[in-house]
Amino acid sequence: MRGELFVISAPAGGGKTTIVNMLLKEVPNLVRAITCTTRKPRDGEEDGKDYYFLTKEAFEESIKNDKFLEYAKVHDNYYGTPKDEVEKLLNEGKDVILIIDVQGMRQLRKKIKLNAIFILPPSLEELINRMKKRGESEEEIKKRLETAKKELPAWKEYDYVVVNDVLEEAKENIKKIILSHRLKRERFDVSTIKDPMLRELLQN
């Protein structure tokens, strides 16, 4: 039984990474696909665990060979989602979660079936507060806020919209979205029915 792909997008400070990390601990059979980047590893990051760290040449070679479902260049570094990695996990029956921006989601939509979830902040003021708490400079905040203002109207292109006012509630709402997909008819496995008479009836 093939798994499903869930894409999470939100402006900087929207809480997407925090929510995804909580979901990965709580939802069985949910995995995050490891993406590729050309940026240098930060302290504590491991190749093959946090990212696949590639050289610029290796990344551009992969672009030529159509190895990415989506990729983008951000602040002189490439970031991309490897096609083989996602397909392997989905074919193993795992539900895959990806944190990508609006641009990446649009690229993915053209290539693969997905469920797109957009996380909205309760207000722009709260978004700025969260960025300040993360220790970002005024210049960084200004730059990220401009990006956010361009991305926020894209919520209309997503399948689900969740407001992250209270973190726990936002996480629970996204968890419900993921779990509800597991109840779809096409994912129902008749062999899990213990009663042989009922099972035989359902298989006819």
* Residue 175 is assigned to a structural domain of this protein: yes
CA distance 60 to 54: 10
* Residue 76 is assigned to a structural domain of this protein: no
* Residue 81 is assigned to a structural domain of this protein: no
Q: If you search the block for the tokens 């003021």, which residue do you land on?
A: 125
pTM reported for the whole predicted model:
0.87
Return left, alpha or beta for 67; rule: phi > 0 is left, psi -120 to 50 is alpha, else beta: alpha
- State residue 139's pLDDT score: 87
The number of distinct structural domains making up the chain is 1
* Residue 151 is assigned to a structural domain of this protein: yes
Q: What is the residue range of 130's domain?
A: 5-33+94-203
The contacts of residue 15 (CB under 8 Å, 6+ apart) are: 119, 121, 130, 164, 167, 170
* Residue 199 is assigned to a structural domain of this protein: yes
* Residue 39 is assigned to a structural domain of this protein: no
**Would you state the structure tokens that stand for residue 62, as one six-digit string?**
């992969």
> pLDDT (tens digit, 0 to 9) for every residue of the chain, 204 residues total?
899 999 999 998 899 989 999 999 999 999 999 889 999 888 888 898 888 999 999 999 999 999 999 998 877 899 999 999 999 999 999 999 999 989 889 999 999 999 999 999 999 999 898 888 888 888 888 888 888 999 999 999 999 999 999 999 999 999 999 999 999 998 898 999 999 999 999 998
Domain harbouring 132, CATH code:
3.40.50.300
* Residue 141 is assigned to a structural domain of this protein: yes
Tell how far CA 178 is from the center of its chain: 12
User: Are the C-beta atoms of residues 81 and 69 closer than 8 Å to each other?
Assistant: yes
- State residue 1's pLDDT score: 84
* Residue 149 is assigned to a structural domain of this protein: yes
- State residue 38's pLDDT score: 95
